[in-house]
A and B are shown apart, each in its own frame.
Chain A
Amino acid sequence: MSAAETSSDLIFPHRHLLGIEGLLPQEIGSLLDLADTYVDQNRQTNKKKSVLSGRTQINLFFENSTRTQSSFELAGKRLGADVMNMSVASSSIKKGETLIDTAQTLNAMHPDLLCVRHGDSGAVALLARKVGCAVVNGGDGSHEHPTQALLDALTIRRRKGRLQGLTVAICGDILHSRVARSNILLLNTMGARVRVVAPPTLLPAGIDRMGVEVFHDMRKGLKDVDIVMMLRLQLERMNGSFVPSVREYFHLFGLDEAKLSAAKPDALIMHPGPMNRGVEIDSAVADDINRSVIREQVEMGVAVRMAVLDALSRNLPNTPYVNGAGSDGAGK
C-alpha cells in the first residue's frame, strides 16, 4: 500500500475521469490501492497532505447534491487544493449553451481540476471537450457516476478482500440510475457477477446484454449473493407511472429482513444514499451494524475522490509527475 504513495505503482493514464467505461482492471485496482492509503490518512489526526498544493479545484454542480459535493470538497481540501464550490441550480440553467459558456468562463480562471455534476447524460463529456483542465464526472444524467462505483468497490474490497468472484445484486430503479450503470461496468471489469433486481418498468432496454442476470423477484435475485446494493427510487416515479404505489413497491422490492434472508449470512448491504426508509429499504436493515456498510460508503467516498484527484493531477501538464512511470497518457 505504501508503494502506491510513491506514485510509481499508479496506473492511470487518463486526462479525465468521465466514466468507468474504458477503464482497465489494473487501472481501477491501482486507484483503489491509492484510495486505501487515503482511508488510513483520513483516520489520522493530521488529515492534510500537500499533493494538490497550489492547485485550484472547482466543484460545478448543476444538480443539487449535498453529500457528493461535500465529499469532493473535503477530498480536495485534504490534498491541499484551493477548492471553490459553484452550485448552479438546474432551474436557472436549462440551456446547454449556458453550460458551455459557464465552462469556458471557469476555464479562463485556470482551474486544474473540475468536478462536475449535470442532469443530462453526456453533458460532462461535452464540457470536458471545452476546457483545458482535468474533469471528474460527479454524475451525468442516467449515464455514469464513476466515483460512486469506485467508492462502492473500495468498500466491498476492504470488507471482502476482493471483488473477483463475488455475486452482487443491484436492486431498484436501474432505468434511471447512473450509479447502477457505473457499478455494472466496474463490477464486470473486476470479475464480479452482477444481478439486477427490479420490476420490468424500471429496467432499461437491452439490460440483458450489459453483462447482468435479470431478476424480477427479490428472493430469487438475492439468493446467495455477497452484496446487496439498493438504489434510491424517486418518489415521483411511484405514483402509477413506473410502479403502482409505494406500498406495493416496498412489499415486492423493499429490502427487509425476510427478503434479505435469501442472501448469504454475511452479505453486505449498500445504498448510495440518500435513503428512502420504508420505500426501498427497511430501517432495521439499513441500520444493522453488522451488515449495513452505508456509513462506510460515505467514508470511502472521500478517500476515493482524493485518489481520483491525486491521480488526475499527476497527469496535468507541467507537473513533476508528468513523465513519471504510469502516466504515459498524460496530456493526450
Chain B
Amino acid sequence: MSRTALINARLVDPASGLDEQGALLIEDGKIADFGAALFKDAVPEGIEVIDCGGHVLTPGLIDMHVFTGEPGNEHRETLGSATQAAAAGGVTTIIVMPNTEPAIDDVALVDFIKRRARDTGLVHVHPMAALTKGLKGEQMAEMGLLKEAGAVAFTDADHTLENAQVMRRAMSYSTYLDALIVNHAAEPSLARGGVMNEGELASRLGLAGIPKAAETIIIERDIRLVEMTGARYHVSQVSTADSVDVIRRAKARGLPVTCGASACHLTLNENDVGNYLTFCKLDPPLRSEDDRRAVVAGVADGTVDVIVSAHDPQDPETKRLPFALSAFGAVGLETLLPATLSLVHNGDIELAAALRALTCHPADLLGLETGRLGTGMPADLTLIDMGVPWVLDRYKLKSKSKNSPYDERRLQGRAIRTIVNGKSVYVQGEDV
C-alpha cells in the first residue's frame, strides 16, 4: 500500500468551507484522512512525506471548457500536450469539447478520447459530446449511448444551436437521461461577421462588432425552453452584464440554469485588443470594463457557477493574420489559476468562491467524483503558492500553441504541485 503524507498545508475545501492548517494522507490514490489534527506530532515511519510549506492545498481544479486538436488538428494540441499544460496549471480534470475533426458525435470517438487520454494524458479527461450530429444543429446526437460511453455533457461547442425546435427537443429528450445541455450563446444572424465587441472601440478600429444582445437573446430563448422542458441547461460562457442579470433572475425562479465564464473575460476587456492584437480575439469577444466587472460580481455571488479556461490552441498560421481573418481563441490552461487568483488578490472575490467555481461546482454539474476534500475521494489535489510573482513567457508554456493574451504579463500565484490519483504529475521546477 502506497501512502503519502502532505504536511504543513493550508487545507482549503471550498465545498465545505474548510480552511485550516493541517495535513492530508493519501492511500492508494485516495484521500484517506485530512485535518488539523492529522500528523500533529509526527508522521509514522513508512509514509512518504511532502512538506507543503504552508501553501494552499485544494481539490484539483476542473476545467470544463477545453479545446484540443485531437483528433484532427494535432499540430495545435494533442490530448497529451493539453494534459501537460493542465498539470502545469494545477488542473487535474479537463473536459474536452466535441468540435474536433471528426466531431465527437459517436460512441467510437468518446472511446477514442478516453483511450488516448489514458495512454498519453497526465490528468483526467472527459469529453463533452456533440448535441447534434456533426455539430450541424439539425439532428440530435445519440445522447443515451454517448452518456453511457462517458460523455459528461452535450454541446455543439463553439456552434450555437440556432434552431429553437431542435433545442427544445434535445432539452426535452435530455431530461430522462439527466444530461446537461451546454450552449454557446451567440445568435448567429447577429454575431456573424463580427470579430470584437460592438462599440466605440470596434468602430474606431474599423472592425465589425458582435452586439451584446447576440448573447442575451440566445440565453433568454433557452431559458424559456428550460421552463418548457425542465432540462438542465448551462451557458458555456457569459461575457455581458445583461447575461449575468438574466441568469441571476432565472436562478431566482428556481430554474436549473447555470453558466460559466472564462478567466480571460474575468480579467481582460475589449481595450486589450489594442492595436489589433489577435491573441485577444475571443468568442464571445472581450467586452467592456462594466461587463467584466458584472461577470466578476456574478462569480462572487455564485450566479456564475464555473470559471473555465476556454483553452483554444491556435498556431501562427491562424493567428498571425489581419484581425478579421484570424481565428478566435486563446490558450488558457496554464493561466486559468493565476488569472483567477488576480481577482482574489484584488479583493474582488473570496478565495473560497474562486475555488468553488474551479472545483466542486463543475464537479457537481458534470457528476464527477472529484473536486472535494473527502475521505475516500480520489486524491486529485493542487498545491498553490498564492503569492509568488512571475512573468508569463508564452514560449515556456507546455501547450503546443502559444497564443496567450497574458504573454509578458505579470501574474501572482500559481500551482506548484499537481496531484492526480495520488501521483504528482507536476512539481514546479522539476520534471516529473
Contact = CB atoms under 8 A, between A and B. Distances in A.
Interface of A: 21, 94-97, 99-100, 118, 120-123, 125-126, 140-144, 178, 181, 204-207, 209-210
A126 B198 contact: no
Given A123-B322, A125-B275, A97 B317 contact: yes
B41 interface: no
A204 B203 contact: yes
B427 interface: no
A121 B203 contact: no
A53 B134 CA distance: 61
A206 B206 contact: no
A96 B323 CA distance: 9
Contacts of B211: 205
9 contacts: A21-B204, A96-B320, A96-B326, A121-B205, A126-B276, A126-B321, A181-B206, A205-B199, A205-B202
Contacts of B369: none
B313 interface: no
Interface in B150-182: none
Interface in B257-271: none
Given A96-B322, A181-B206, 9 more contacts: A97-B320, A99-B322, A120-B322, A122-B322, A122-B324, A141-B206, A143-B206, A206-B201, A206-B202
A210 B206 contact: no
Interface string B177-212: 000000000000000000000111111111101010
Given A122-B205, A140-B206, A95 B325 contact: yes
A312 B201 CA distance: 28
Interface in B191-236: 198-207, 209, 211
Most chain B beta-carbon contacts within 10 A, residue among A126, A178, A181:
A126
Which 4 residue pairs are nearest across A and B when measured between Cβ atoms?
A206-B200, A143-B206, A96-B321, A122-B276
A106 B207 CA distance: 27
Contacts of A94: 325
Nearest to A18: B275
Contact of B325 (A120, A204, A207): A120
Nearest to B197: A205
B276 A97 contact: no
B122 to A, nearest CB: 33
A126 B322 contact: yes
B199 A206 contact: yes
Interface of B: 198-207, 209, 211, 275-276, 317, 320-326
Contacts of B323: 120-122
Contacts of A96: 320-322, 325-326
A311 B205 CA distance: 25
A205 B213 CA distance: 13
Contacts, number: 75
Contacts of B198: 205
Contacts of B209: 204-205
A142 B326 contact: no
Contacts of A99: 321-322
Contacts of B321: 95-97, 99, 126
Most chain B beta-carbon contacts within 10 A, residue among A21, A96, A141, A181:
A96
Nearest to B203: A204
A181 B276 contact: no
A143 B208 CA distance: 11
Contact of B320 (A100, A178, A206): A100
B94 to A, nearest CB: 30
A209 B325 CA distance: 27
A95 B318 CA distance: 9
B200 A121 contact: no
B324 A120 contact: yes
Most chain B beta-carbon contacts within 10 A, residue among A21, A100, A123, A205:
A205
Most chain A beta-carbon contacts within 10 A, residue among B201, B276, B321, B322:
B322
Contact of B200 (A100, A125, A141, A210): A210
B149 to A, nearest CB: 38
B345 to A, nearest CB: 32
Contacts of A206: 199-203
Contacts of B276: 121-122, 125-126
A205 B322 contact: no
A209 B317 CA distance: 35
A203 to B, nearest CB: 9
Contacts of B325: 94-96, 120
Contacts of B317: 97
B275 A207 contact: no
Nearest to B325: A96
A270 B367 CA distance: 66
Contact of B203 (A120, A125, A141, A207): A207
Nearest to A126: B322
Given A205-B202, A206-B199, A121 B207 contact: yes
A205 B203 CA distance: 6
A122 B204 contact: no
A181 B322 contact: no
Contacts of A126: 276, 321-322
A206 B325 CA distance: 23
B203 A178 contact: no
Contacts of B322: 96, 99, 118, 120-123, 126, 141
A123 B323 CA distance: 8
B324 A121 contact: yes
A207 B204 CA distance: 9
B154 to A, nearest CB: 34
Contacts of B275: 122, 125
A21 B326 CA distance: 24
Contact of B206 (A95, A97, A142): A142
Contacts of A141: 206-207, 322, 324
A47 B390 CA distance: 60
A181 B323 CA distance: 18
Contacts of A120: 322-325
Contacts of A140: 206
B203 A210 contact: yes
Nearest to B211: A205
Given A96-B325, A96-B326, A143 B200 contact: no
A247 to B, nearest CB: 27
B194 to A, nearest CB: 11
B206 A144 contact: yes
Contacts of B326: 96
A68 to B, nearest CB: 17
A118 B276 CA distance: 15
